[in-house]
Amino acid sequence: MPQAALPWWNGRTLHVQHDSLRIGSACVESLAREHGTPLYVYHGAQVTDRVNAMHAALAQHGLPSRIYYALKANRFAPLVALLRSQGDVGIDACSPREIAYALDAGFSPAEISVTASCLSTRDLSYVSQSGCHLNLDTTSAIERYAALQPAERRIGLRVDTGIETGYGVNQKTSYARGKLGMMPEDFDAALLGASAHGLTVDTVHTHLGWGLRASDDALIARAFALVAELAERVPALTTINVGGGLGGRLVADDAPLGLERWAQLVADAFGHLKVTIACEPGTFLVAEAGALVVEVASVWQKRGVQWAGIDANFGTNLYAAHYGLPHEIIAARSPLGDAAHEYSIAGNVNESGDVFARDRALPALDAGDLLVLYPAGAYGSSMSSDHCLRGNFTEVLA
Protein backbone atom coordinates (compact mmCIF):
# COMPACT_ATOMS: atom_id res chain seq x y z
CA MET A 1 0.00 0.00 0.00
CA PRO A 2 1.46 3.44 -0.86
CA GLN A 3 2.51 5.47 2.18
CA ALA A 4 0.13 8.35 1.36
CA ALA A 5 -2.89 6.07 1.76
CA LEU A 6 -2.09 5.26 5.38
CA PRO A 7 -3.80 7.20 8.15
CA TRP A 8 -1.77 9.44 10.46
CA TRP A 9 -1.94 7.01 13.36
CA ASN A 10 -0.27 4.21 11.43
CA GLY A 11 3.16 4.22 13.05
CA ARG A 12 5.51 2.69 15.59
CA THR A 13 2.80 1.61 18.06
CA LEU A 14 -0.49 1.23 16.21
CA HIS A 15 -0.27 -0.02 12.65
CA VAL A 16 -1.87 -2.14 10.00
CA GLN A 17 -0.09 -5.20 8.72
CA HIS A 18 -1.71 -7.54 6.19
CA ASP A 19 -5.09 -5.93 6.94
CA SER A 20 -4.75 -6.68 10.64
CA LEU A 21 -4.55 -3.92 13.26
CA ARG A 22 -1.52 -4.34 15.50
CA ILE A 23 -0.10 -2.73 18.60
CA GLY A 24 3.63 -3.28 18.45
CA SER A 25 3.93 -6.80 17.10
CA ALA A 26 0.67 -8.08 18.62
CA CYS A 27 -2.62 -8.30 16.77
CA VAL A 28 -5.44 -6.36 18.47
CA GLU A 29 -7.86 -9.27 18.14
CA SER A 30 -5.50 -11.72 19.86
CA LEU A 31 -4.70 -9.20 22.57
CA ALA A 32 -8.41 -8.75 23.29
CA ARG A 33 -8.99 -12.51 23.25
CA GLU A 34 -6.11 -13.11 25.64
CA HIS A 35 -6.69 -10.25 28.10
CA GLY A 36 -10.31 -9.21 27.62
CA THR A 37 -11.59 -5.66 27.18
CA PRO A 38 -11.39 -2.82 28.04
CA LEU A 39 -7.65 -3.22 27.60
CA TYR A 40 -4.89 -0.64 27.70
CA VAL A 41 -1.90 -1.80 25.66
CA TYR A 42 1.42 0.04 25.91
CA HIS A 43 4.23 -0.41 23.42
CA GLY A 44 7.42 -0.27 25.49
CA ALA A 45 9.74 0.23 22.53
CA GLN A 46 7.98 3.47 21.62
CA VAL A 47 8.44 4.78 25.17
CA THR A 48 12.17 4.08 25.18
CA ASP A 49 12.50 5.56 21.67
CA ARG A 50 10.94 8.76 22.96
CA VAL A 51 13.28 8.89 25.97
CA ASN A 52 16.28 8.51 23.68
CA ALA A 53 14.95 11.10 21.23
CA MET A 54 14.46 13.62 24.03
CA HIS A 55 17.97 13.09 25.40
CA ALA A 56 19.38 13.43 21.88
CA ALA A 57 17.40 16.60 21.10
CA LEU A 58 18.70 18.36 24.22
CA ALA A 59 22.24 17.01 23.83
CA GLN A 60 22.37 18.39 20.30
CA HIS A 61 22.43 21.88 21.80
CA GLY A 62 25.04 20.92 24.37
CA LEU A 63 22.52 21.37 27.18
CA PRO A 64 23.14 19.36 30.35
CA SER A 65 19.72 17.85 30.98
CA ARG A 66 17.64 15.70 33.27
CA ILE A 67 14.39 13.98 32.33
CA TYR A 68 11.87 13.44 35.13
CA TYR A 69 9.00 11.29 33.86
CA ALA A 70 5.65 12.73 35.00
CA LEU A 71 4.29 9.76 36.92
CA LYS A 72 0.77 11.17 36.90
CA ALA A 73 0.57 10.41 33.17
CA ASN A 74 0.72 6.64 33.66
CA ARG A 75 1.84 4.68 36.72
CA PHE A 76 1.38 1.16 35.32
CA ALA A 77 4.15 -0.62 37.24
CA PRO A 78 5.78 -2.49 34.30
CA LEU A 79 5.91 0.79 32.34
CA VAL A 80 7.51 2.60 35.28
CA ALA A 81 9.98 -0.30 35.66
CA LEU A 82 10.84 0.03 31.98
CA LEU A 83 11.56 3.73 32.43
CA ARG A 84 13.57 2.96 35.54
CA SER A 85 15.65 0.50 33.54
CA GLN A 86 16.70 3.35 31.22
CA GLY A 87 18.91 4.59 34.06
CA ASP A 88 18.86 8.23 33.03
CA VAL A 89 15.21 9.02 33.77
CA GLY A 90 13.95 10.30 37.11
CA ILE A 91 10.41 10.89 38.33
CA ASP A 92 8.30 14.03 38.51
CA ALA A 93 6.01 13.34 41.48
CA CYS A 94 3.03 15.48 42.43
CA SER A 95 1.90 13.99 45.74
CA PRO A 96 3.27 12.14 48.76
CA ARG A 97 1.86 8.87 47.42
CA GLU A 98 3.53 9.42 44.07
CA ILE A 99 6.81 9.95 45.91
CA ALA A 100 6.25 6.71 47.84
CA TYR A 101 5.35 4.92 44.60
CA ALA A 102 8.53 6.14 42.92
CA LEU A 103 10.67 5.15 45.92
CA ASP A 104 9.07 1.68 45.91
CA ALA A 105 9.84 1.43 42.20
CA GLY A 106 13.52 1.90 43.04
CA PHE A 107 14.08 5.59 42.33
CA SER A 108 16.26 7.35 44.88
CA PRO A 109 15.19 10.68 46.46
CA ALA A 110 17.83 12.41 44.32
CA GLU A 111 16.07 11.09 41.22
CA ILE A 112 12.67 12.45 42.24
CA SER A 113 11.53 16.02 41.66
CA VAL A 114 8.33 17.13 43.34
CA THR A 115 5.99 19.76 41.93
CA ALA A 116 2.57 19.66 43.50
CA SER A 117 -0.52 21.73 44.12
CA CYS A 118 -2.22 22.76 47.38
CA LEU A 119 0.38 21.22 49.68
CA SER A 120 -0.88 20.72 53.22
CA THR A 121 1.56 20.83 56.12
CA ARG A 122 1.19 17.04 56.32
CA ASP A 123 2.18 16.79 52.63
CA LEU A 124 5.12 19.13 53.17
CA SER A 125 6.25 17.13 56.14
CA TYR A 126 6.33 13.96 54.03
CA VAL A 127 8.34 15.68 51.28
CA SER A 128 10.64 17.21 53.86
CA GLN A 129 11.49 13.79 55.28
CA SER A 130 11.80 12.17 51.87
CA GLY A 131 14.81 14.28 50.88
CA CYS A 132 13.35 14.92 47.41
CA HIS A 133 13.74 18.29 45.70
CA LEU A 134 10.58 20.38 45.82
CA ASN A 135 9.30 23.22 43.64
CA LEU A 136 6.94 25.60 45.42
CA ASP A 137 4.63 28.35 44.25
CA THR A 138 3.17 30.08 47.31
CA THR A 139 4.59 32.06 50.23
CA SER A 140 2.49 29.97 52.59
CA ALA A 141 4.08 26.71 51.41
CA ILE A 142 7.60 28.20 51.48
CA GLU A 143 7.18 29.33 55.08
CA ARG A 144 5.62 26.07 56.27
CA TYR A 145 8.24 23.99 54.44
CA ALA A 146 11.16 25.97 55.89
CA ALA A 147 9.73 25.54 59.40
CA LEU A 148 9.98 21.76 58.96
CA GLN A 149 13.78 22.00 58.65
CA PRO A 150 13.73 19.77 55.55
CA ALA A 151 16.55 17.38 54.72
CA GLU A 152 16.80 19.00 51.30
CA ARG A 153 17.02 22.75 51.84
CA ARG A 154 17.21 23.69 48.18
CA ILE A 155 13.93 24.44 46.49
CA GLY A 156 12.59 25.62 43.17
CA LEU A 157 10.06 28.34 42.47
CA ARG A 158 7.27 27.55 40.02
CA VAL A 159 6.20 30.40 37.77
CA ASP A 160 2.94 30.93 35.89
CA THR A 161 3.97 33.08 32.95
CA GLY A 162 0.32 33.94 32.25
CA ILE A 163 0.85 32.98 28.61
CA GLU A 164 -1.65 30.42 27.36
CA THR A 165 -0.36 27.60 25.17
CA GLY A 166 -1.28 24.07 24.11
CA TYR A 167 -4.78 22.66 24.44
CA GLY A 168 -5.42 25.60 26.79
CA VAL A 169 -8.77 26.47 25.34
CA ASN A 170 -10.68 25.96 28.55
CA GLN A 171 -10.05 25.92 32.29
CA LYS A 172 -9.60 22.15 32.31
CA THR A 173 -6.69 22.18 29.90
CA SER A 174 -5.08 25.58 30.44
CA TYR A 175 -2.11 26.03 32.76
CA ALA A 176 -1.90 29.82 32.55
CA ARG A 177 -3.66 32.21 34.91
CA GLY A 178 -5.09 29.44 37.08
CA LYS A 179 -4.23 27.98 40.46
CA LEU A 180 -0.74 26.73 39.56
CA GLY A 181 2.52 28.65 39.79
CA MET A 182 3.28 32.13 41.09
CA MET A 183 2.91 35.32 39.11
CA PRO A 184 6.18 36.77 37.79
CA GLU A 185 5.41 39.90 39.85
CA ASP A 186 5.60 37.80 43.03
CA PHE A 187 8.88 36.10 42.17
CA ASP A 188 11.30 38.51 43.83
CA ALA A 189 9.39 38.45 47.10
CA ALA A 190 9.33 34.64 47.06
CA LEU A 191 13.07 34.55 46.38
CA LEU A 192 13.73 36.88 49.30
CA GLY A 193 11.24 35.04 51.52
CA ALA A 194 12.88 31.68 50.84
CA SER A 195 16.29 33.06 51.68
CA ALA A 196 15.00 34.73 54.84
CA HIS A 197 13.69 31.34 55.94
CA GLY A 198 16.97 29.57 55.27
CA LEU A 199 16.04 27.93 51.96
CA THR A 200 18.19 28.19 48.86
CA VAL A 201 16.41 28.62 45.56
CA ASP A 202 18.30 26.64 42.93
CA THR A 203 15.57 26.02 40.34
CA VAL A 204 13.09 28.04 38.37
CA HIS A 205 10.20 25.88 37.20
CA THR A 206 7.45 26.43 34.71
CA HIS A 207 4.91 24.16 33.00
CA LEU A 208 3.54 26.15 30.11
CA GLY A 209 0.67 23.98 29.04
CA TRP A 210 -0.50 20.64 27.79
CA GLY A 211 -0.20 19.62 24.17
CA LEU A 212 2.03 22.45 22.92
CA ARG A 213 1.18 23.28 19.29
CA ALA A 214 3.48 24.29 16.44
CA SER A 215 1.44 27.49 16.29
CA ASP A 216 2.44 28.27 19.92
CA ASP A 217 6.04 28.87 18.85
CA ALA A 218 6.15 32.63 19.46
CA LEU A 219 4.17 32.34 22.71
CA ILE A 220 6.54 29.70 24.04
CA ALA A 221 9.55 31.84 23.12
CA ARG A 222 7.98 34.77 24.99
CA ALA A 223 7.11 32.66 28.03
CA PHE A 224 10.58 31.08 28.18
CA ALA A 225 12.20 34.53 27.84
CA LEU A 226 10.19 35.70 30.83
CA VAL A 227 11.32 32.67 32.85
CA ALA A 228 14.94 33.27 31.82
CA GLU A 229 14.72 36.85 32.97
CA LEU A 230 13.50 35.72 36.39
CA ALA A 231 16.13 32.99 36.53
CA GLU A 232 18.90 35.55 36.02
CA ARG A 233 17.96 37.01 39.43
CA VAL A 234 18.62 33.71 41.25
CA PRO A 235 22.15 33.70 42.72
CA ALA A 236 22.34 29.91 43.36
CA LEU A 237 20.61 28.84 40.14
CA THR A 238 21.56 25.35 38.97
CA THR A 239 18.44 24.27 37.06
CA ILE A 240 15.69 25.49 34.81
CA ASN A 241 12.79 23.05 34.88
CA VAL A 242 10.58 23.50 31.83
CA GLY A 243 7.94 21.00 32.95
CA GLY A 244 6.09 18.90 30.39
CA GLY A 245 3.82 20.01 27.61
CA LEU A 246 5.16 18.30 24.53
CA GLY A 247 2.29 16.36 23.09
CA GLY A 248 1.42 14.57 19.94
CA ARG A 249 -1.46 14.27 17.53
CA LEU A 250 -4.92 13.41 18.74
CA VAL A 251 -6.53 13.59 15.31
CA ALA A 252 -5.29 13.89 11.73
CA ASP A 253 -5.11 17.65 11.42
CA ASP A 254 -3.29 18.32 14.69
CA ALA A 255 0.05 20.07 14.41
CA PRO A 256 1.96 19.57 17.67
CA LEU A 257 5.18 21.39 18.43
CA GLY A 258 8.01 19.12 17.28
CA LEU A 259 10.69 17.84 19.63
CA GLU A 260 13.53 19.47 17.69
CA ARG A 261 11.83 22.85 17.66
CA TRP A 262 11.05 22.56 21.38
CA ALA A 263 14.71 21.83 22.12
CA GLN A 264 15.72 24.82 19.99
CA LEU A 265 13.34 27.09 21.92
CA VAL A 266 14.74 25.79 25.21
CA ALA A 267 18.32 26.32 24.02
CA ASP A 268 17.59 29.81 22.68
CA ALA A 269 16.02 30.93 25.94
CA PHE A 270 18.20 29.22 28.52
CA GLY A 271 21.47 28.18 26.83
CA HIS A 272 23.29 31.29 28.06
CA LEU A 273 22.53 30.48 31.70
CA LYS A 274 24.78 27.40 31.54
CA VAL A 275 22.56 25.42 33.91
CA THR A 276 20.91 22.01 33.79
CA ILE A 277 17.67 21.84 31.85
CA ALA A 278 15.20 19.62 33.63
CA CYS A 279 11.97 18.56 31.95
CA GLU A 280 8.95 16.55 33.06
CA PRO A 281 7.46 14.81 30.06
CA GLY A 282 4.38 12.68 30.53
CA THR A 283 2.30 12.87 27.36
CA PHE A 284 5.31 12.92 25.03
CA LEU A 285 6.77 9.70 26.46
CA VAL A 286 3.67 7.58 26.85
CA ALA A 287 0.57 8.95 25.08
CA GLU A 288 1.24 7.60 21.62
CA ALA A 289 2.70 4.41 23.05
CA GLY A 290 -0.72 3.44 24.38
CA ALA A 291 -4.02 2.33 22.88
CA LEU A 292 -7.31 1.44 24.53
CA VAL A 293 -9.04 -1.61 23.06
CA VAL A 294 -12.79 -1.78 23.70
CA GLU A 295 -15.66 -3.92 22.49
CA VAL A 296 -18.85 -2.65 20.93
CA ALA A 297 -21.57 -3.74 23.37
CA SER A 298 -24.57 -2.69 21.33
CA VAL A 299 -25.63 -0.63 18.35
CA TRP A 300 -28.89 1.34 18.07
CA GLN A 301 -30.60 4.21 16.32
CA LYS A 302 -32.40 7.01 18.13
CA ARG A 303 -33.78 10.28 16.79
CA GLY A 304 -31.65 10.01 13.71
CA VAL A 305 -28.46 9.28 15.65
CA GLN A 306 -26.65 6.00 15.09
CA TRP A 307 -25.17 4.98 18.44
CA ALA A 308 -22.50 2.40 19.18
CA GLY A 309 -22.18 1.69 22.91
CA ILE A 310 -18.86 0.31 24.15
CA ASP A 311 -17.76 -1.68 27.21
CA ALA A 312 -15.81 1.29 28.61
CA ASN A 313 -16.78 4.71 29.93
CA PHE A 314 -15.45 8.02 31.18
CA GLY A 315 -14.17 6.17 34.22
CA THR A 316 -11.93 4.15 31.91
CA ASN A 317 -10.77 7.20 30.00
CA LEU A 318 -11.66 10.82 30.70
CA TYR A 319 -10.25 12.56 27.64
CA ALA A 320 -13.49 13.18 25.83
CA ALA A 321 -15.90 13.66 28.72
CA HIS A 322 -13.69 15.75 31.01
CA TYR A 323 -11.22 17.57 28.76
CA GLY A 324 -13.30 17.62 25.58
CA LEU A 325 -10.32 16.16 23.69
CA PRO A 326 -10.92 13.69 20.87
CA HIS A 327 -9.42 10.25 20.32
CA GLU A 328 -8.93 8.64 16.98
CA ILE A 329 -11.33 5.69 16.91
CA ILE A 330 -10.39 2.75 14.72
CA ALA A 331 -12.44 -0.34 13.92
CA ALA A 332 -10.15 -3.35 14.38
CA ARG A 333 -12.06 -5.56 11.94
CA SER A 334 -11.63 -3.07 9.14
CA PRO A 335 -8.95 -0.52 10.15
CA LEU A 336 -8.57 0.94 6.68
CA GLY A 337 -12.16 0.19 5.68
CA ASP A 338 -14.59 2.52 4.04
CA ALA A 339 -15.83 4.88 6.78
CA ALA A 340 -19.25 5.08 5.21
CA HIS A 341 -21.29 5.37 8.42
CA GLU A 342 -21.52 7.88 11.22
CA TYR A 343 -21.63 6.71 14.82
CA SER A 344 -21.82 8.42 18.14
CA ILE A 345 -19.75 6.37 20.56
CA ALA A 346 -21.35 6.00 24.00
CA GLY A 347 -19.79 4.78 27.23
CA ASN A 348 -21.53 2.29 29.53
CA VAL A 349 -22.27 4.31 32.66
CA ASN A 350 -25.57 6.02 33.39
CA GLU A 351 -24.44 9.55 32.65
CA SER A 352 -25.60 11.44 29.60
CA GLY A 353 -22.15 13.00 29.21
CA ASP A 354 -20.50 9.62 28.90
CA VAL A 355 -19.86 9.96 25.17
CA PHE A 356 -16.51 9.47 23.45
CA ALA A 357 -17.35 10.91 20.04
CA ARG A 358 -20.32 12.21 18.08
CA ASP A 359 -21.08 11.48 14.44
CA ARG A 360 -17.70 9.89 13.80
CA ALA A 361 -17.17 8.35 10.33
CA LEU A 362 -16.56 4.62 10.76
CA PRO A 363 -17.17 1.36 8.89
CA ALA A 364 -20.42 -0.50 9.77
CA LEU A 365 -20.28 -1.73 13.38
CA ASP A 366 -21.92 -4.65 15.18
CA ALA A 367 -22.02 -5.80 18.78
CA GLY A 368 -18.82 -7.74 19.46
CA ASP A 369 -16.63 -5.61 17.15
CA LEU A 370 -13.43 -4.22 18.61
CA LEU A 371 -12.57 -0.53 18.53
CA VAL A 372 -9.25 1.05 19.36
CA LEU A 373 -9.12 4.49 20.96
CA TYR A 374 -5.82 6.18 20.25
CA PRO A 375 -3.68 7.68 21.66
CA ALA A 376 -4.47 6.47 25.16
CA GLY A 377 -1.17 5.98 26.97
CA ALA A 378 -1.28 9.22 29.00
CA TYR A 379 -3.85 10.28 31.61
CA GLY A 380 -6.00 7.25 30.78
CA SER A 381 -5.61 4.47 33.34
CA SER A 382 -4.01 6.87 35.84
CA MET A 383 -7.21 8.95 35.98
CA SER A 384 -9.63 6.05 35.99
CA SER A 385 -12.56 5.70 38.37
CA ASP A 386 -15.00 2.95 39.22
CA HIS A 387 -18.24 4.88 38.79
CA CYS A 388 -21.23 2.52 38.55
CA LEU A 389 -18.73 -0.25 39.33
CA ARG A 390 -17.91 -0.20 35.62
CA GLY A 391 -14.27 0.77 36.06
CA ASN A 392 -12.69 -2.59 35.34
CA PHE A 393 -9.91 -2.72 32.76
CA THR A 394 -6.64 -4.55 32.16
CA GLU A 395 -3.26 -3.14 31.21
CA VAL A 396 -0.42 -4.85 29.37
CA LEU A 397 2.99 -3.85 28.13
CA ALA A 398 3.49 -5.22 24.63
Nearer to ligand PLP by Cβ, of 92 and 295: the residue is: 92
Nearer to ligand PLP, 10 or 95 (CB): 95
DSSP 231: H
**DSSP code of residue 152:** -
21 versus 383: smaller Cβ distance to ligand PLP: 383
* Closest separation in Å from C-beta 52 to ligand PLP: 17
Nearest to 23 by CA among 364, 346, 365, 330: 330
Q: Which is nearer to ligand PLP, 65 or 348 (CB)?
A: 65
Instruction: Closer to ligand PLP by CB, 150 or 244: give it.
Output: 244
What distance in Å separates the CA atoms of residue 61 and residue 59, rounded to the nearest whole number?
5
In sequence order, which residues have a C-beta less than 8 Å from that of residue 210 and are 6 or more positions away?
A: 166, 167, 168, 173, 175, 244, 245, 247, 283
Residues 237-248 as b/e (b if ≥16 CB within 10 A, e otherwise) read: bbbbbbbbbbbb
**Comparison of 113 and 313: residue with beta carbon closer to ligand PLP:** 113
Measured between alpha carbons, how far is 270 from 238 in angstroms, rounded to an integer?
A: 12
Nearer to ligand PLP, 92 or 311 (CB): 92
CA distances from 324 to 118, 164, 314, 347 (A): 25, 17, 11, 14
Minimum distance between the CB of residue 212 and ligand PLP, rounded to whole angstroms? 8
> Which residues of this chain interact with ligand PLP, rule CB under 6 A?
70, 73, 92, 115, 207, 210, 243-245, 280-284, 378
Q: CB burial class (10 A; 0-12, 13-18, 19+) of residue 196?
A: exposed
Q: Is 123 exposed, middle or buried (0-12, 13-18, 19+ CB in 10 A)?
A: buried
Tell me, what amino acid is at 294? V
Residue 390: CB minimum distance to ligand PLP, A = 26
**Shortest Cβ 283–ligand PLP spacing (Å):** 3
Minimum distance from CB of 213 to ligand PLP (Å)? 12
CB of 378 to ligand PLP, least distance (A): 6
In sequence order, the β-bridge partners of residue 92 are 70, 113
- For the CB of residue 382, give the shortest distance to ligand PLP in the complex, in Å: 10
Give the nearest residue (CB) to ligand PLP: 244
